[in-house]
Amino acid sequence: MNPQLIATLVILVIAMALFLSERLSVDLVALLVVTSLGATSVLTAEEVFPGFSREVVIILVAIFILTEGLERTGVTSQVGNWLLRIAGRDESRLMTVVMAAGAFLSLFMNNIAAVSILLPAVSGAARKAGVSKSRVLMPLAFATLLGGMATLLTTTNIVVSGLLREQGIQGFGLFEFAPVGLPLVLCGIIYMVFVGRRLLPLPSAVEPERGSRRTSLDLVDLYRLGEYLFRAAVPAESPLVGKSIRQTAFRDAYGLTVVGIYRDGKLALSPSPDTLLEHGNILLLAGEAEDLLLRDAGQSLEILPLGEWQERDLESAKIVVVEAVLSPRSALIGQTLSSAHFHEKHGMNVLAILRAGRKIYVGLADLPLQFGDALLMHGPRERLPVLRDDPDLILVSEAQDEAPPVAGKGKLALAIMIITLAVATTGHFPIAEVMLAGALIMILSGALTMDQAYRAIEWRVVFLVAGMLPMGIALSKTGAAALMADGLIHVLGNAGPWALLAGLMALTILLSQAMKGAAIATVMTPIAIQAAHAIHADPRALAMGVALATSMAFVTPLGHPVNILVMGEARYRFRDYVRVGLPLTVLLFVVVMVILPIIWPLTLK
C-alpha cells in the first residue's frame, strides 16, 4: 500500500465518520475532503478543482433553476392540488393519490422541493378528510424517494451517470431508469396502501400534533375577517375629498382600517397613509360599519354592498397577511399601537387582535397590548424581514418573502421544461448543455429572475457533490477502489455477478440510512466499476444497482431530509420508520434483484 492509497483511505474514513456524526455540515466536510486530497498530493491541482465544473454539477444547477421556474409559475402547485382534489375522504384513496402526486413531482424535481410543495396541501386535505397527518406524511416522503428511482433527474443518479462517463463508459439516458424504477414506484405504493398503512402509527399512538403554521387564508377564516370588511364610496360632496388617509384619521375617529382602495375597478391593497382620496374612490375597510353609520351619518362615506370580494383578494405580489404574537419580554406589552408608532416602525396595519380567544376589531390604536396577544397584520411583503428581526414579535404564519406564482407564465414554463427534457432525451447533445440552456431560457422567459435563480440553487448539495467527486478520482487513481473491489470479489466473486450486485446494493443501502446519497454514490460507484471489470460484468448494470440503492433511505429518518421534514410535522418516532421502512426496503431490494438483471443483463456479451 503506497502513501497516497493510505492517505486516501484515511481521508475517506474520517469523512465518513464526520458525515455520520453530523458535527460539521456535509458541504464543509466535502470541501475539507477535496482540500485534504490536494494537500496530501493524492491529487494534483488540475484534478482537485475541476470538480466544480463537472457535467454533474452543471446538470444539478440547471435542475434547481428549472424546477424553481415551475414552482414560481404555479405549475407544480396546480398539479398537486389537482391530484388531491380527486382523493375524497377515504384514507387509502387519499394515501394513493398523495403518493402518486409525490412520485410524479419527484420525476422532474428535487425530492425536498416536491415534499415542500405538497406538504401544506396534503396536510389540509388530511384535515378536511378527517385523517391524521401521521397517516399520510410518511407515505408522501417515501413516494418522493420512490419517484426519484425512475428518472435520471435525481442527485445520486446524476452523480453515478457522471462517474461512468469519467471512466469512459456510457452514462445513463434520461429515462433509462424508468424500466426498473417505475415497477419500484408501483410496488412501493401498493405496499404502503395495503401493508404499510397498517404499520403506520395510529392517531392515538402519536403525540398531539403541533399546531401548523397558518396560511393567509387560514388567518382570514380564523379571525372571521370577512364579517368585518365592507366597502364605502367617497361621494363628490364628501369632506374627505383631497385629504390623505393620514389626515382622515379613520382609525382614531371611527376605529377603521383602510385595507385597500378601488380605482378604475382595480384594488390597491395597503395604500400609503399619504394617498389622497378622490371623488369616486371606493375604500375597502376593516371594522364595524354600524359605528361609521352612527358617527358619520353618511356624510363622508357611502356604505356599499361587499360585492364579489374573496379572501384571496387580501394578498398580491406586494401585499401579505401575517400573524404575529408578542414575545415574552416584548417592549410592546403595556403600550398601544399608537404610542408605539407601530405602523411607522413596521409598515403594517393591524386589522384585528386575538386576546384569550376573543377577537377585537375596533379601538385597536388605543388598546394597551398584553402578553399573549396575537396581531393580524396586513401590509407590504417587503416588510417581512423587519418583522422577523424584531425581538418584540414572533411570526406564526407561513408568509414568505417571495411573491405568489407569476401570472400567465405557467404554460410557458411547462413547455420549456418539456422541450428541455425532450431534447436531452435524444442524446444528440450533451445533457449538461441542454439542461443549462433550458435553465437560461426559463430565466429569459420571465418565470423567475436571476436573483431568484441563485437563491433556488441548493449550494450545499452543489458543494457536497463537487467536493466529493474528486474522491472518486482518488479511489481510482490510488488503487483504493480496486482494493475494495478485490475484497468484494474475494467474498462474493465466486458466486457470480448477481451475488456481487446484491453485496454492492446491501452495503449501499446500509450506508444510505445515515449518510447523504450523493456522498455514498461518489464512493460506491468507482468500486462497482472496478468490481465489474474484474469479473467481466456490465459496469452500467452494477452502477444502476448502486444508484437505486442510494434512494432506499426508508429505515431511518436520517437517510434523507424529506424524512426529517415530515417527522417533525407528524411527530413520528425513530421506530416508526424502522417498522414501516424496513419491510419496504427488503421488498424493493428483492424487486431490483429480480428485475434489474432482466432489463440490464449483468454479464457482458
**CATH number, domain at 347?**
3.30.70.1450
> Sorting pLDDT into bands at 50, 70 and 90, what band is 212?
very low
Confirm if 270 and 257 have CB atoms less than 8 A apart. no
pLDDT at 205: 44
- Could you tell me which residues come within 8 angstroms of residue 111 by beta carbon, excluding any fewer than 6 positions away? 144, 145, 147, 148, 154, 560, 561, 562
Residue 385 Cα to chain centre, angstroms: 20
- Sign of the C-alpha dihedral computed for residues 297, 302, 305 and 308 taken in this order: negative
Which segment of 82-91, 394-403, 492-501 scores lowest on mean pLDDT?
A: 394-403
- Could you tell me which residues come within 8 angstroms of residue 69 by beta carbon, excluding any fewer than 6 positions away? 413, 416, 417, 439, 442, 443, 445, 447, 448
Whether 244 has a pLDDT exceeding 90, the answer reads: no
pLDDT at 597: 95
Alpha-carbon span 425 to 54, nearest angstrom:
20
pLDDT at 581: 94
* Segment 270-289 mean pLDDT: 82
**417533525: which residue's cell?**
568
Tell me which of 361, 395, 429 is where a domain ends: 395
pLDDT at 269: 80
381 in the same domain as 324: yes
Residue at 182 is within a domain: no
Whether 157 has a pLDDT exceeding 80, the answer reads: yes
* Segment 21-33 mean pLDDT: 81
Q: Please state the domain count of the chain.
A: 2
Residue at 260 is within a domain: yes
Q: How far is residue 84 from each of residues 26, 177, 494, measured CA to CA in Å?
A: 35, 27, 51
Residue at 14 is within a domain: no
Highest mean pLDDT among 66-70, 539-543, 558-562: 539-543
246 in the same domain as 291: yes
382 in the same domain as 305: no
330 in the same domain as 303: no
Residue at 160 is within a domain: no
Which segment of 28-32, 56-60, 204-208, 412-416 scores lowest on mean pLDDT?
A: 204-208
* Segment 432-436 mean pLDDT: 88
Tell me which of 345, 367, 395 is where a domain ends: 395
Whether 29 has a pLDDT exceeding 60, the answer reads: yes
Q: What is the DSSP letter of 493?
A: G
332 in the same domain as 300: no
Whether 194 has a pLDDT exceeding 90, the answer reads: yes
C-alpha cell at 11: 481521508
Return the closest-CA partner of residue 171 out of 155, 188, 186, 152.
152
pLDDT at 405: 59
295 in the same domain as 327: no
Segment 222-231, tens digit of pLDDT? 677 767 778 8
288 in the same domain as 340: no
Tell me which of 395, 420, 443 is where a domain ends: 395
Phi, psi at residue 393, to the nearest 5°?
Answer: -130, 150
* Segment 285-300 mean pLDDT: 70
310 in the same domain as 228: yes
C-alpha cell at 580: 414501516
pLDDT at 21: 75
pLDDT at 207: 40
* Segment 340-344 mean pLDDT: 87
The whole domain housing 387 covers: 319-395
Residue at 169 is within a domain: no
Phi/psi class of residue 208: alpha, beta or left (left: φ > 0; alpha: ψ in -120 to 50)? beta
354 in the same domain as 269: no
* Segment 561-586 mean pLDDT: 82
Residue at 389 is within a domain: yes
Return the closest-CA partner of residue 568 out of 149, 155, 115.
115
Residue at 34 is within a domain: no
Q: What is the mean pLDDT of the chain?
A: 81
* Segment 152-174 mean pLDDT: 88
Q: DSSP string spanning 120-144?
A: HHHHHHHHHHT--GGGTHHHHHHHH
Confirm if 487 and 532 have CB atoms less than 8 A apart. no
Residues facing residue 232 across a β-bridge: 283, 303
Residue at 543 is within a domain: no
Q: DSSP string spanning 578-599?
A: HHHHHHHHHHHHHHHHHHHHHH
* Segment 556-579 mean pLDDT: 76
Q: DSSP string spanning 308-320?
A: T--GGGG--SSEE
Q: What is the DSSP letter of 449?
A: -
Comparing 568 with 301, the larger pLDDT belongs to: 301
330 in the same domain as 299: no
310 in the same domain as 225: yes
Give the largest CA-CA distance in the chain.
Answer: 98
Q: b vs e for 79-105, b when ≥16 Cβ sit within 10 Å of the residue's Cβ?
A: bbbebbeebeeebeebbbbbbbbbbbb
Whether 9 has a pLDDT exceeding 60, the answer reads: yes
Whether 210 has a pLDDT exceeding 60, the answer reads: no
Q: How far is residue 470 from each of residues 140, 467, 483, 514, measured CA to CA in Å?
A: 34, 7, 18, 22
385 in the same domain as 299: no
Alpha-carbon span 373 to 353, nearest angstrom:
7
Which segment of 181-185, 235-239, 411-415, 528-532 scores lowest on mean pLDDT?
A: 235-239
